[in-house]
């Protein structure tokens, strides 16, 4: 079967560092963002579950099951991670009660089959990580000499960077860090 093409949310959806990424516990495929969780007070046979508005990278079983739940009778389809085919939860196809019809077209993912990971992909976080790495490299008070040897055509070149008083550089403004994005 091989790996399936993996979808991701729009880049701006990942911008908030408060938003966590919900991934498949088995293969770490992106499924949802924590900002799309409607309720975390759902339950399933395996324990806690999340009611979510939108999922990506899933496959729904063709078979529709009639299931009696705490809040009424529903027709549901099992949903699976489209990479590893691990069962994640279910999607609501139909509700017997009009009061519960808001669930139709939405999903429940079970906590036992997912993981929440921190979102480090926001531009702000990436810039902070870059600054930290830059400052970590320059954390000594001594002179720093970096040499980089490279080829340019047939020429062998040596690039030498010499920094003195590195501690002073560490305290300068954020303009020291060049981030290209």
The answer to whether residue 34 is domain-embedded is yes
Same domain? For 112 and 131 the reply is no
Same domain? For 18 and 83 the reply is yes
What CA–CA distances, in Å, run from 42 to 31, 32, 51, 71?
18, 16, 7, 11
Same domain? For 164 and 77 the reply is no
What's the alpha-carbon Rg for the chain, to the nearest Å?
A: 25
What is the domain extent for residue 134? Answer: 123-172
Q: Which of 96, 117, 138 is the last residue of a domain?
A: 117
Same domain? For 89 and 140 the reply is no
Reading the chain (181 residues) residue by residue, the pLDDT tens digits are 566 677 777 766 666 767 888 999 988 889 999 989 999 989 888 889 999 999 999 999 999 999 999 999 999 999 999 989 999 999 999 999 999 999 999 999 999 999 998 876 555 555 565 555 554 454 444 444 555 565 556 666 555 555 544 444 444 444 444 444 4
What span, in angstroms and rounded, lies between the C-alpha atoms of 60 and 31?
Answer: 13
Same domain? For 49 and 133 the reply is no
Same domain? For 136 and 162 the reply is yes
Tokens 């993912």 correspond to what residue?
109
Based on the structure, what is the number of domains in the chain?
2
């Amino acid at each position: 079967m091989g790996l399936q093409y993996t979808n991701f949310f729009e880049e701006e959806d990942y911008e908030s560092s408060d938003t966590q990424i919900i991934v498949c516990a088995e293969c770490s495929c992106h499924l949802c963002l924590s900002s799309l969780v409607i309720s975390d007070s759902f339950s399933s046979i395996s324990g806690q579950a999340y009611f979510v508005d939108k999922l990506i990278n899933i496959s729904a079983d063709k078979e529709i099951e009639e299931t009696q739940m705490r809040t009424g009778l529903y027709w549901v389809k099992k949903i699976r991670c489209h990479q590893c085919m691990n069962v994640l939860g279910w999607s609501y196809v139909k509700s017997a009660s009009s009061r519960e019809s808001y669930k139709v077209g939405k999903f429940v993912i079970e906590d036992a089959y997912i993981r929440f990971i921190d979102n480090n992909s926001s531009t702000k976080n990436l810039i902070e990580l870059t600054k930290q790495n830059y400052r970590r490299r320059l954390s000594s008070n001594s002179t720093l000499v970096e040499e980089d040897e490279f080829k340019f055509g047939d020429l062998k070149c040596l690039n030498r960077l010499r920094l003195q008083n590195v501690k002073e550089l560490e305290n300068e403004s954020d303009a020291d860090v060049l981030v290209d994005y």
